[in-house]
Structure 1
Amino acid sequence: MAPTLAVSKGVDILRDHGPVILRTTYYEGATRTNLPRLQGPAGPHKTDDHDPHREGRAIDIILFATKENERLIADELVEVFLEVREKMNWSAVIYNKKQWNKAGIETPRGGDSSSSNQHLTHIHIEWRAADATLVDWEQALIATLEARTWVLDPGF
């Protein structure tokens, strides 16, 4: 399925106004290829028809929690998403063994202990289907991203 408006706008805004690292690729060992850090559409490994990526309503931002500079940038991005959560109307943000619900309440991440499920390799942000088609938050996200100095961004 094609990405929803929230996903396509979110990826564009993060790429154009977020930290420089989001414009780079990372090496994916499983596929032995370089892949973009901003990922909206589901790859072939997603087989569940109700997966939010397959439904076009989720973004993964590949930043490794095990690499300090990437984790610090990811932590700042999570703060940005929490700051604009009421405008963006996302339903969940997940990163580094934590998840935040629509109300911005943090809880530990349950489920299996795999690094993918625990989101040690990426930030996951998703919208409910009804909210993924409504995008009136672009300027709020841009302003919040641009207000950051991203001093920890190594300037890839």
Structure 2
Amino acid sequence: MSGLLGGKCKSFAIDDSQYLMCFEMFSKSAEVGYQKFTDMALHFYNLVQLVIKKLPDDVIVYFLHHVDVVDGRIKAKTIGKMLDEKLTLEGLFSIVLLCQTDGRNHQFITQSDGTTTAKSPMEMFEPVIENDLKAVDGIIREYYGLEKAVKEKE
């Protein structure tokens, strides 16, 4: 944690962040009862809150998630009803981009058509943009007036 707070990196990607929940679920597979699901939901919520409250304002953390289709709506894949019904994971974020592909090209959807949880501040992005996280980071930093991320020496 101290490396994140005082480090030079201004952008992090947790790919695939739903595996944090999945791995914990497998490690608790022998436990019985509902409490383990409450604990797992709380652990993921606490991770998001740590990013929001403890990291400097100019540090952006990207949570990359797989999706589920539930009742015709595309949403972040989670491990249980508590996150799905009580919290709604995407509600913790002001920007939710949805990657779509035609099999050859990948693009981000930046606004919902009613069937997704995609969202972003008005006029930050076009409705569909190139799947380029570095470009996304630059646009977000410019929109919020944050210093550009510095490229580390290779």
TM-score under structure 2 normalisation?
0.25
The structure with the largest alpha-carbon Rg is 2
Of Structure 1 and Structure 2, which has the larger fraction of its residues in helix? 2
TM-score under structure 1 normalisation?
0.25
